[in-house]
Amino acid sequence: MTTPGMDEEKRQRIIRASIEEFGKGYALASTNEIVRKAGVSKGLLFHYFGSKENLFFVAFKEATAKLQEKLLACYEADKENTPGDIFHRLTRLALIKLKLFQD
């Protein structure tokens, strides 16, 4: 979701702050804390995203896309070093996922 005239740098700051804040759980996430961390006004947050729910979905989509990108990069880099056996490759993929979630 990109609003015409939206400052991409501010949008990314809001999304990064919201990903961190939503890590506490949706109900515990505070829009006041998100705007404080992002260094923007609450009015700007709602102007850009409309609601906490919309912000959550945008942040979730971005976080998922970044995770998938990292996972694929790790998988491709590891492909050369992993035996062709599907069991070994799936096990290795699961370990890569765990490492990414820890990061």
Return the closest-CA partner of residue 46 out of 3, 16, 102.
3
Helices 42-49 and 52-79, interaxial angle, to 10°? Answer: 70
pLDDT in tens, the chain (103 residues): 455 556 899 999 999 999 999 999 999 999 999 999 999 999 999 999 999 999 999 999 998 888 888 777 777 766 666 556 677 777 777 877 777 666 6
**Nearest of 88, 15, 75 to residue 49 by alpha carbon:** 15
Q: How far is CA 65 from CA 5, 10, 96, in A?
A: 23, 19, 16
What DSSP state is assigned to residue 50?
Answer: S
Which residue ranges form the domains of the chain, and what is each CATH number? 8-102 (1.10.357.10)
